[in-house]
Structure 1
């Protein structure tokens, strides 16, 4: 009988992946992709455990795939405290505790990488953890420890924190320094081994990506249903069930835009600045889900009533992809306009909605529409901007080309301006057309989306799926500029960024009636961290 896979085996895999560079491998080894090595690990795990369920392994290999599972409520500062408790360090001023709490700023071995600092401390202080090579904990043991850590986080008051401290004290001596290094990364969800969600899903099964999206990121179900890579299994969007919508690729540079435009004619859509919403209609019943699968049916009940009363959807069953925005019709003094996305919940609640289906609560935030008061505020409405259809009656349209889906959308829906709109769309043929659309966007529009007419609807798809999002800040000269003052900064992480300020807090001068020279009051405005070359940061 084979032994269960030990956590040390997985740690050795992580170490190989983290240090896997061309310089470190022989030519014959370079052709073995991380996906192939991950497949081998998965096969080895199944054989050693005598099971056909990969879920316990995937929880550790790619924690980000566990969207609906463990929540530890642990960030770097709290983890530093828990590790100090586990090492029986009572004083935060202790050298090792201070190293953990100041992992970004203090010059030390592993600076900027919390897990590396933890490893350096434990490896140089024998007796605090298991000796190297003596790690005996299995994958099952690690998952039980992490489950207990997540369950403790659900406790109210200080009970949960005390339970987490007790767990660290109990387990500190059972794992090696290198194992603790990777436990830290798993808890913080900072794996840094180059194994993404996409790679993990592809290694699991050829159909895992689509199945994962269609089942609302339910990894447990994916592992239960897809157990044999050689047995293909189709999946499709299901009515009244939330799914991960198709996403937009963000261009890395203008070459990506040129590449898309070179394919021929493209659809250019104005992207409204609202909230992504999928509308499921099943007879007279409706379900509204956000991009993160929150059920907002009861919150946006007003617009459902309007659609049903005016019979704006002709089909008995369908699923639409749309953006919901706020709308104010204007008056003699203030012009009509779409409202910022922060006003949506306010308007929904004001129009009689609630959070019954969403299992959350919310309050009306008058500041979202502060310039509108009294009768003006009461005129605020919700508006759906529809841009795709993925099912009509019992027929899935996922595999149909976008051009055909849009024809079906026009046949199924009766659009009404400022209530149930068809997203504004033009046909472009060149990169210049795409750029011009960016320069022409209105204040209520976030940017434009370029779409290939032949693209299919890929659940959860993004890169290479046929949709590309462009915003003014992606293009030099298309965005606004501001004169600001640097007020502070945040240190970066990692081998290159650690010990250096990589994100700047900027502010503006507060104007006073009495001019002051120099000015005395500054107000923080935002944080910026991109746009500068590395050498500029160093300077």
Structure 2
């Protein structure tokens, strides 16, 4: 929740900061403006968390969702503003992606917050902002836990009655978790503290970052991994097969693994408690189970860990497993398998495939080389087919080894391969050439051509706001019997 202190700056001043950052060209100028604001905040108000969660709303895990995207917000504002459902302004709100006849809206089509601002501005009676950053956070905290449309309407009405149109524009951007000021999370965090980005990568908590790094002159270890704080996983760099050995710095050998078609997941285990987080640190424990008595996975793997492995953080991929065909299923089947609580030995089920470990028995081990980390896995895990597995690897040292493994992956209709440097440490949140992914579609000769029918389009945003930028396509279903009506998928 937000800071309990009432000594908080005006939200209108915070909005002016965002406008200033957005208007500046170049990252350095944007960072200079934000740095001045951070220094002033620290000197007067101390804890920066109230501001940080508004600057990086997509990283605020204490307010994971507001249950309101553009369409819901549009309908809510139509109701709050008392607009006729067939009125021009209601139409612009509802169809915010589509260019209309009004030139005023054509310039901002595809940007819902800007469209909403134009509609709100002519109706708002609030001329000067009097609400604080703390006030905004309190309302957003409430919005994030509401369960009904009436409560949502009440909060949006509160914003309309008490905040200027400009302030509401930025509140809408926070709710949509996209500020659009031209600064990355890396830039924002590094302005706050030189260790902030690295700390966030190993804890995924803006609150912890703001508390632990409140003093800009005190440095922290970047190895501050803790159990039940989700980390940002290391990511793989894309390369062509012929460029892999050079990209890996000429190492004399590398590991080659299957690139799985699932969802990147990390598993935290301590004293019988299990927690699952996705690549973007979304908590999926409710699906897979927090203990041996609940979920579609934990009851089956609860006893698969060595009794001396008291606390673990494992990195891997969650896939759907077909026990009849004894094969991994496409990614699209994973969620239905994870949600299926019915009994049945032959149903598709979630299977966690482990390929790395970053924490063991109270100690982060990301500084150990990959070869030593993966050697730990068979010592602490008893594999259970179709439930919990360790991803095997082969060793290679040449372009031909990469090509041969990629050919095998193509023949097996797999997604591709991942090549890893055995001597590399684990780099949370980074995409570097110690891990390299190679997929068939990176190679022209291995790509597939598909005939499709365009059946729809979606208007773009920004510079592409007045034109179709994404297309919905269909393919012919070849399983339809001859003589029957054609069917498209």
Q: TM-score per shorter chain, which class?
A: 0.7 to 0.9
Shift in Å at residue 34 of structure 1? 3.4
Residue of structure 2 in register with 1:142 after alignment: 136
Shift in Å at residue 336 of structure 1? 3.9
Kindly indicate whether the alpha-carbon contact (under 8 Å) linking 2:66 and 2:143 is maintained by their aligned counterparts in 1: yes
Q: Given the alignment, which residue of 197, 207, 222 partners 2:209?
A: 222
Residue of structure 1 in register with 2:89 after alignment: 96
Residue of structure 2 in register with 1:507 after alignment: 474
Residue of structure 2 in register with 1:166 after alignment: 157
Residue of structure 2 in register with 1:450 after alignment: 419
1:59 aligned onto 2:53: yes
Structure 2 Cα separation of the partners of residues 5 and 465 of structure 1: 44
Runs of at least 5 residues in structure 1 that lack an aligned partner in the other structure:
23-29, 349-361, 367-373, 526-539
Structure 2 Cα separation of the partners of residues 446 and 201 of structure 1: 34
Shift in Å at residue 509 of structure 1? 3.6
Shift in Å at residue 430 of structure 1? 5.0
Shift in Å at residue 65 of structure 1? 1.6
Residue of structure 2 in register with 1:270 after alignment: 258
* C-alpha distance 255-10 of structure 1, shift in aligned 2 (>3 A): farther
The 3-state SS of whatever aligns with 1:307 is coil
- Structure with higher Rg: it is 1
The 3-state SS of whatever aligns with 2:224 is coil
Q: CA RMSD in A?
A: 3.7
Matches within 5 A, 1:237-256: 237-239=225-227, 241-251=228-238
Residue of structure 2 in register with 1:34 after alignment: 30
Structure 2 Cα separation of the partners of residues 193 and 100 of structure 1: 22
Q: Given the alignment, which residue of 28, 45, 55 partners 2:41?
A: 45
The 3-state SS of whatever aligns with 2:437 is strand
Residue of structure 2 in register with 1:261 after alignment: 248
Q: List per-residue Cα deviations over 1:278-308 (Å, max 9, x = no partner).
A: 455557x463524234333443235425625
The 3-state SS of whatever aligns with 2:169 is helix
Runs of at least 5 residues in structure 2 that lack an aligned partner in the other structure:
1-6, 101-105
Structure 2 Cα separation of the partners of residues 203 and 141 of structure 1: 25
The 3-state SS of whatever aligns with 2:215 is coil
Shift in Å at residue 436 of structure 1? 4.5
* C-alpha distance 258-184 of structure 1, shift in aligned 2 (>3 A): farther
**Matched pairs, number:** 464
Residue of structure 1 in register with 2:19 after alignment: 15
Residue of structure 2 in register with 1:307 after alignment: 304
Residue of structure 2 in register with 1:206 after alignment: 194
Matches within 5 A, 1:465-484: 466-484=434-452
1:437 aligned onto 2:405: yes
Residue of structure 1 in register with 2:113 after alignment: 115
Structure 2 Cα separation of the partners of residues 116 and 255 of structure 1: 47
Q: List per-residue Cα deviations over 1:103-150 (Å, max 9, x = no partner).
A: 321242322222233344455x3x63444xx33433223323433443
Structure 1 Cα separation of the partners of residues 276 and 83 of structure 2: 48
Shift in Å at residue 69 of structure 1? 1.2
* C-alpha distance 450-18 of structure 1, shift in aligned 2 (>3 A): farther
The 3-state SS of whatever aligns with 2:65 is coil
* C-alpha distance 51-253 of structure 1, shift in aligned 2 (>3 A): farther
Matches within 5 A, 1:481-500: 481-494=449-462, 496-500=463-467
Shift in Å at residue 325 of structure 1? 4.2
Structure 2 Cα separation of the partners of residues 145 and 329 of structure 1: 48
1:294 aligned onto 2:290: no
Q: List per-residue Cα deviations over 1:196-231 (Å, max 9, x = no partner).
A: 22222222223333433443x232232222211211
Residue of structure 1 in register with 2:9 after alignment: 5
Shift in Å at residue 259 of structure 1? 6.3
Q: Given the alignment, which residue of 386, 395, 400 partners 2:354?
A: 386
Structure 2 Cα separation of the partners of residues 237 and 142 of structure 1: 32
Structure 2 Cα separation of the partners of residues 109 and 306 of structure 1: 60
The 3-state SS of whatever aligns with 1:155 is coil
* C-alpha distance 465-228 of structure 1, shift in aligned 2 (>3 A): farther
Shift in Å at residue 486 of structure 1? 1.0
Shift in Å at residue 253 of structure 1? 8.2
Structure 2 Cα separation of the partners of residues 497 and 286 of structure 1: 48
Q: List per-residue Cα deviations over 1:141-170 (Å, max 9, x = no partner).
A: 33234334435xx133x4324423532442
* C-alpha distance 421-20 of structure 1, shift in aligned 2 (>3 A): same
* C-alpha distance 111-346 of structure 1, shift in aligned 2 (>3 A): closer
Residue of structure 2 in register with 1:352 after alignment: none
Matches within 5 A, 1:389-408: 389-408=357-376
Residue of structure 2 in register with 1:338 after alignment: 328
TM-score normalised by structure 1 residue count: 0.73
* C-alpha distance 477-499 of structure 1, shift in aligned 2 (>3 A): farther
The 3-state SS of whatever aligns with 2:238 is coil
Q: Given the alignment, which residue of 125, 147, 160 partners 1:155?
A: 147
Kindly indicate whether the alpha-carbon contact (under 8 Å) linking 1:449 and 1:468 is maintained by their aligned counterparts in 2: yes
Structure 1 Cα separation of the partners of residues 246 and 34 of structure 2: 32
* C-alpha distance 194-256 of structure 1, shift in aligned 2 (>3 A): farther
Q: List per-residue Cα deviations over 1:419-469 (Å, max 9, x = no partner).
A: 75442323344556445433321647433223233322233x132373333
Kindly indicate whether the alpha-carbon contact (under 8 Å) linking 2:304 and 2:382 is maintained by their aligned counterparts in 1: no
Residue of structure 1 in register with 2:4 after alignment: none
Structure 2 Cα separation of the partners of residues 280 and 456 of structure 1: 20
Q: 472-481 or 186-195, which moves further after superposition?
A: 472-481
Kindly indicate whether the alpha-carbon contact (under 8 Å) linking 1:115 and 1:181 is maintained by their aligned counterparts in 2: yes
Residue of structure 1 in register with 2:3 after alignment: none
Matches within 5 A, 1:278-289: 278-280=266-268, 285=272, 287=274, 289=276
